[in-house]
Structure 1
Amino acid sequence: MSQPFVVHINPVAFSLGPVQVHWYGLMYLLGFFFVALLGEYRRQKGRLPVSREALGDLFFYGMLGVIIGGRLWYMLFYYEGGIHWIWTQPLALFKVWDGGMSFHGGLLGVLAAALWWSRRHRLHFFDTMDFVAPLVPLGLGLGRLGNFINGELWGKPTSLSWGMIFPSAHADDVAYAGSDPALLQQLQSYGGLIRHPSELYELALEGLAMFIVIWLVSSRPRPRYLVSGLFALMYGVFRFAVEFVRVPDPQLGYLFGTHWVTMGQMQSLPLIVIGVWLLALSRNAPTLRLYTAALPDKGTDEE
């Protein structure tokens, strides 16, 4: 077997004096950039009757929702010290440079921001979400690329030819190998166990595949709820499936004494159910008409 690829990439993209700019942060910025770019394109196609200024407000509040919701959800459900941080070290919530963001929390943050914005502009909440859903997958994919560059959220050991070595998983490699002669030989030969690049699986599924499918489906007017339902269903199924080959968060492990149920799977099940429910609702829902011309940059759509 040829030497597997070793995921040992400098997480720092470049430095500006004492300030280090990390690839992970750049991935977030690129994600927000593509959301804004694609959103403005859809707005100009008449997919939502708002001005550029109003759409910019939606993206700004959505960005806050991603950051605040994603960080808070991580601290509540994934933080190594449990929820004791609330009264022992509350400032840990703001230490985003230590890592720790949750997609499910970020999604809830976006939903809250979109609900408030939709009411302010007298739009149906799901018309807003059907507009936003096709914009999100590229950002998700870039986030997973950032995870890969950081060498984190790695997968389980595999014998597949595209498996990779994650040096940051060395302690887990040693524990997993135990006294197994074949795995010990692998450790000695390659310096680590060959693992599934689960971040790249998620990049391909949650990022590229979801973007292509949802963008194509939403390329013409669809019944209300359909695009949002498709997004929820696809993400839930993809995330649930990839969790089978991804190592669970070490501070949580597997749930309920099983060897396969993870927190990620538990939090993805509601998305699958909601996705199916929304798709069912769409069968009798109205279709948002295309607006013949986008509103000007500064419209009068404020209350």
Structure 2
Amino acid sequence: MPRQETTSVLRRLPWRGILTLLPLAGVAWWVVANRSVIGEGLRQALAADGTWLLAAVGCTALGFVAVSFARQGTVLERLPAGRLLVTQFAAGAANHLLPAGIGGGAVNIRFMARCGLPPARYSAALALYFLAEGVSRVALLLALLLAFPEALRLQALLPDRVGLPLVAAGAAVVAVAAVAVTLAIRRVRRAIRTFLGTALRDVRAVHARPSRVLALWGGSLAFPALQAAGLVAVALSLELGVPVGHVVLAYLASSVVAAAVPTPGGFGSVEASLVVALVATGANVAAATATVLAYRVITVWLPLLPGALVLGALVRRGIV
């Protein structure tokens, strides 16, 4: 077939419809690949206290509101509130299909571009969001570590000759290697310098507006707090037997660790790190596993299909 005819055929393809179906295809693949996990989590959830499970669902729903506030706080322009909230719900589904927050970031970039923001501005906004979310999560973790210094008994989970110093040393080596590689490549240095210049100007402008500061940092702090509250509700529904403050600490510690493993939606890394963290706070392995499975069903699998449907609708309407 001649090249012109091939190009003509490609242009006639219903690309928007295909893009609409891609999220649903991704969800179907994940459901089939993780059907045993879903089934076990549902069985555990059916045996739990329904009132606390509804509270966990409510915390998950409020999390999308918190993220919407944080996203609005990254830009000076007023974003359409309703579309912003719906976009965060759709971005949650996209986040479970691509690793390291790429899916959610791509959806939000498309949304901000449709709202008229230039590439430099929405790139800076995305970076500011991730920075604020990470700083808030680590700040909450450090505060709880000071409040409950003996809550996480990690030494009991590590070999006698390994210990926490070796884990910290390994993390430091990775950080130093990343900085060294960045500094060694001139093109990377130049791109980072240009990006930081734009980002710093936007950060100063946003922090000159009290309403944006409240939205950014309030939303960034509220989101992990609501996620932790959802885990607490699930733990209470299954009578995990771990103090509430320790459960919150386990969630924050595991989320920081899981963020270093770029899997789609944190599948595998979140479950493993959260079970380890709960066991480190004193829960038995079986109860911790049941709690994590039920929690992931509520926070991941329950909103995944409707989120994918919303994402498809947003793509079809040209909102993202």
TM-score, normalised via structure 2 length: 0.27
TM-score, normalised via structure 1 length: 0.28
Higher helix proportion (structure 1 or 2): 2
Higher strand proportion (structure 1 or 2): 1
